[in-house]
Amino acid sequence: MTTPTAAPTPRGWRRLPVVHQLRQSVGLQRVMLIVGLVLTGLLLLSALLAPWLAPYGYGQIRSADTGPFGAQQPPSAEHWLGTTVGGFDVLSRVIWGSRTAVLVIVIAIAASLIIGVLLGLVSGYFGGWLDRVLVVIADAVYAFPSLLLAIVLAIVISGGQSSMIGGVLAAALSITVVFTPQYLRVVRAETIRIKSEAFVESARVIGASNGRIMFKHVLRNSTRTLPLIITLNASEAVLTLAGLGFLGFGIEPTKAAEWGYDLNRAISDVTSGIWWTSVFPGVAIVLTVLGITLVGESLNDLADPRLRTRRASADVTGDVAATSVVPGGALTAPGGVEGLEPRTEDGR
């Protein structure tokens, strides 16, 4: 699962994101959360164990004993899910594709998390012209259709030429640029709220340096909504990667497996009624995004007291209210999370 960034509190593992929500949830919400976690777990397993799970390599078009696989073969005992127009084994490419997807998600999230959180902290803490400039840039980039930005970056990073590393990096970094503004905004809003709290002032009075206040006092308190945004962005990362691949900017089939590319190759197959080349990679994308989104959606609802199904009033802790995310932006996280600012002002 996505790594929780919040520091463990005295109550230990029960307060960790996801674990905490799992305990908090009831009924349908719990079912959705569990289904999401299971699907996400399957994705991670398949990515981790791809070499052992997949019957063939992602770029393999012939086997040692039976010769070439043949193109567009329907599902059979040798090829459970058939073969593609390029003569690859569909099942193997679907399994290997999970590895590419996970790799892109991890790189993209890690990079945008680090950059976005740092910029957000600095922007919110110091304010002034730097803050203004960063916010305007972040808004501009956020308004930009993400796939178009990803296309531009893919051209820049790999020149459209797709090696394994180049393709993965192009997809991951282009997604990073798109996501960074969201983290910046959330962390900035939280930082502005927290820096006026008494404990920050106290720290300043004792003579703590800006850096120490930022990282020791503000950062740890401003990361509560991040797990939620991470899950939402992870699903968008998968879709962006697939979109890039579908437009022909994916990774070459001999370098790595990528679902979007496979779907692109399957367009003409569909017209002649060959379904197995498109359906299986597509289902893989859907299940991946579905799993991650279900986790994110459940976290979102559990964080919002208006949407949370209540078990007993005693369980609804007061501090969760501050983390609530406004409806209207469940999927597009920044839309929702921006609401934090007015919300917290009103709430006081």
Partner 1 sequence: MTSTPTAGPLQPTGAADPTAPDGDAPASTRRSRGSGGGLGRYLLVRFLLIIPTVFILVTVVFVLMRATGDPITAAQGGRLPADQLAERIAQAGYDRPVLVQYGDYLGDLLRGDFGTTLSDSRPVTEVLTTFGTATLELAFYALIVAFAVGIPFGLVAAYFRDRVPDALLRVFAILCYATPVFFAGLLLKLVFAVQLDWLPVAGRASTRSEIEMRRLDDPTGIYLIDAIRTGNPDVVVDVLQHAVLPALALGLLTAGVFLRLVRTNVIGTLGSGYVDAARSRGVRESRLLRKHAYKPALIPIVTVVGMQVAMLLVGAVLTETTFEWRGLGFQLSQYLQARDFVAVQGIVVMLAVVVAVANFLVDVIAALIDPRVRY
Positions in 320-339 near partner 1 (CB under 8 A):
326-332, 334-339
For partner 1, the closer CB: 75 or 160? 160
Piece of 15-23, 74-82, 223-231, 293-301 that binds partner 1 (CB under 8 A): 293-301
Query: d(Cα 257, Cα 255) in Å, to the nearest integer?
Result: 7
Cβ nearer to partner 1, comparing 8 with 248: 248
Rounded distance, CA 94 to CA 186, Å? Answer: 35
Nearer to partner 1, 208 or 239 (CB): 239
Among positions 142, 179, 183, 261, the unique one binding partner 1 when judged by CB under 8 A: 142
In DSSP terms, which residues pair with 63 in a beta bridge?
67
Q: Which of residues 152-171 bind partner 1 (CB under 8 A)?
A: 152-153, 155-157, 159-160
3-class DSSP state for residue 63?
A: strand
Among 140, 199, 210, 212, binds partner 1 (CB under 8 A): 140
Beta carbons of 103 and 251 less than 8 angstroms apart: no
- Residue of the chain from 170, 285, 299, 303 that contacts partner 1 (CB under 8 A): 285
CB of 156 to partner 1, least distance (A): 5
Q: Which residues pair with 89 in a beta bridge?
A: 83
290 binds partner 1 (CB under 8 A): yes
Cα Rg for the chain, rounded, in angstroms? 22
Site for partner 1 in 25-64 (CB under 8 A): 27-28, 32
Instruction: Give the integer Cα–Cα distance in Å for 112 and 237.
Output: 11
Contacting partner 1 (CB under 8 A), which of 66, 196, 271, 313?
A: 271
| CB 62, min distance to partner 1, A | 28
d(CA 31, CA 34): 5
Closer to partner 1 at the Cβ: 61 or 284?
A: 284
Segment 99 to 138, residues that bind partner 1, using CB under 8 A:
131-132, 135-137
- Determine the Cα–Cα distance for residues 61 and 128; give it in Å rounded to an integer: 59
Beta bridge partners of 83: 89
- Kindly state the tokens that stand for 246: 């579908």
Sign of CA dihedral 279, 34, 181, 256: negative
Instruction: Single out the segment in contact with partner 1 by CB under 8 A; choices: 3-11, 66-74, 81-89, 262-270.
Output: 262-270
d(CA 108, CA 231): 12
Contact stretch for partner 1 (CB under 8 A) within 8-16, 87-95, 217-225, 265-273: 265-273
Of 61 and 292, CB closest to partner 1: 292
Minimum separation from the CB atom of position 247 to partner 1 (A): 5
Give min distance, CB of 202 to partner 1, in A.
Answer: 27
Q: Smallest Cα–Cα separation from 317: which of 325, 300, 305, 301?
A: 305
**CA–CA distance, 25 with 133 (Å, rounded to integer):** 40
